[in-house]
Structure formats: structure tokens, C-alpha cells
Amino acid sequence: MPEGDTVLQTAKRLHGALAGQELTRSDLRVPRFATADLSGRGVLEVAARGKHLLTRVEGGLTLHSHLRMDGAWRVFAQGERWRGGPAHQIRAILSTATHTAVGYRLPVLELLRTEDEERAVGHLGPDLLGPGWDPDLALRNLLAAPARPLGEALLDQRNLAGIGNIYKCELCFMARATPWLPVGELPPRTAALLVTTAKQLLEANRDRPVRITTAAVRPRTGTGPAPRPRRPVDDLWVYGRAHRPCLRCGTPVRTAEQDARPTYWCPHCQTGPAPHS
């Protein structure tokens, strides 16, 4: 599932291509909205809210989409060949005189009144990249269920919006805690730093191309020896590094599933419960 910074980049690309222009074509290929036609309406803006995309058009309407695991929006100049998947995977087409935005494999696509957007995104916690970011509320949300595993709490968008599986693993490493540690067992200072570091990570990557790196933000919590010097190829601390040496201590990184997602951690650097297999 894309991280919040990747969704924000997608919103910026869509906004740059569509905002301020009139739609010349609108094709929503989902049964509920198959007859809806937005052509002739101007696009006001495309905004991100956590991992949700909100395309607002004239007449008080919003096209709400969510990428989840496999969805993607691609932008093409008029006349450019579309690339992103076979035609049967296209769920939305929005064209202006200069560009076409094509939504592939979108699991969530709905048209709603702009005034009703909160019905779709009102459940979200503070947006790590949004204007209403509230670190104190995010921390309270994160700690509201003390027995909940840290990794699950970080991924719950109702606590704070924007963290995906990559950042979950990296943040747990930075906190020196396994993703299965009950979140209430985090030292208070570590929990507060976790929220701050999450925002730093997303901000450090929001203007990068799709690639994610955590090299710009070093682990700041816990004790022990300083991390080894980073190399350009070492963009992530543990994610995707199963059986490779931990960049801090050299112990092989382990992997297991948590909530049906691959999860990575260092059994030496991170304390707390973990699967035996």
C-alpha cells in the first residue's frame, strides 16, 4: 500500500495536470457511477488526505479514490500512449485539452458531494503531511489502546494518517522496539519521538520520486552504539532486508507477517515479543 508521501506526490501530479482546466472527457468505470458525466466541469483541485485522493470539480462534487495495494493514477499528454496496465483494469478516465489522467485498478472510486467528504475521510487521524497536523492528538490516538501491537497501531489510519508498511517497519527499528511490542510499553519519550520521526520521514520523502528512503532520518531513540555509516544503496534500515546484516549491529534481519503484511526487524536491536518462526 502506498505511503502518505507517495499519495501526496500523486495528488500533486494530478493537480498539475487537471486543476484550472475544463474536463473534456469523464469515464467512471464502476457500476454505481458508470452513467455519471463530469465533462464540461472545471477541476478546482486535487488534494490528498492521508492515503485518500480527493479530486474536486465545479458544482460541488468530489471524486474520491484510494489506491490501496495495486491502484495507480497515471497522467499522459494528449496523444501519448497510455501505460499502466491492460484496458480492462482502467477504472477512471479524466481528460482536459492537454492531459488525460487514467486510474488503474482503483479499489475505491466514488463520486460524492464535496460537502460530504467527511463521510469518506472523517475517520482519519491527524494527517502527517496535512495542514491540520496535531502531534499531541496523534500521540494520544496511538496510545489509546495500550495492549495493541505497535506495528498495528502505526498502520491504523484512525490514529495518524499516512504511515504504510515500509514506514511501520522503519519506525519500529528507530524506536528499538519490535512491531509486536504492546504500544503502551513504549517509554513516554520514545513514543513522542516516534510521532515526530514519522512526520520527519514523510516530509523528507514527499518531494522525491516514488523511491522511499529513511537514510535522511537516523534512529534517535534507545541506547547503544551509533548506527554504522550509511551508504547510498542503504536507503532503508530493515524493510526488504530479510537475512541481510542489520546496518547497526550486523545481526541478520528477520521477517514475518503482521496483519497479512511482510514485516522486518532486527532481533538484536529491537526489544519486545516477536514470532518464533
Just list the catalytic residues.
Answer: 2-3, 51, 261
What are the CA-CA distances from residue 277 to residues 254, 257, 274 (Å)?
A: 9, 10, 9
Q: Map grid coordinates 468530489 to a residue.
A: 62
H-helix segments, the chain: 4-18, 118-121, 135-142, 150-155, 165-174, 188-205
For residue 142, the SS3 value is helix
Cell of 197: 520521526
Burial of 188 (0-12, 13-18, 19+ CB in 10 A): exposed
* DSSP bridge partners of 6: none
CA distance 57 to 231: 45
Residues whose CB is less than 8 angstroms from the CB of residue 4 and which lie 6 or more positions away in sequence, other chains included: 48, 50, 51, 127, 128, 129, 161, 162, 163, 164, 202
Q: Cβ distance 170 to 201 under 8 Å?
A: yes
* Residues comprising the chain, all counted: 277
Residue 261 main-chain phi, psi, to 5 deg: -125, 140
CA distance 197 to 189: 12
What does the DSSP 8-state code read for residue 53? E
